[in-house]
Amino acid sequence: MRDCNACGKCCIKYGSGQLAASPEDLEIWSSFRPDIDAYVNDGKIWFDPQSKALLDRCPWLKVDPLSPSRYLCEVYADRPEDCRAYPMTLTDMLNDECEMLEPSDLNNLKQAEIDLKKIS
């Protein structure tokens, strides 16, 4: 299994209303990261600070200027719990076409499951 190559697929897929932050995340953002907290609405993420509409894309996902096919997370150190936990399961990785998966993983899913447990 490869390291994450920042393809952005998971962020693009889940960044619109399918991510959750933990109570601790919300507390930290409320106290120390008002810029992130501005995108929270009633404990849920990510909402437009002005209109309060659910965003169709995570506001912190940016194209890497040094490599336009790669992405950066602008709040990486303070990203929400769901983002820190990804990838949790091989099923998610397969469904999301996560680029951490290599041909050898696809040929031996049992071993891939074991490898994922080691890194998560």
Binding region for ligand SF4 (CB under 6 A): 4-11, 15, 58, 60-61, 73, 75, 79, 83, 86-87, 96, 98-100
**Of the two residues 5 and 30, which places its CB atom closer to ligand SF4 in the complex?**
5
**Of the two residues 84 and 111, which places its CB atom closer to ligand SF4 in the complex?**
84
Q: How far apart are CA 25 and CA 30, in angstroms?
A: 8
**Of the two residues 8 and 29, which places its CB atom closer to ligand SF4 in the complex?**
8
| CB of 37 vs ligand SF4, minimal distance in Å | 13
Non-local (6+) Cβ contacts of 3 within 8 A are 100
| CB of 45 vs ligand SF4, minimal distance in Å | 8
| CB of 50 vs ligand SF4, minimal distance in Å | 19
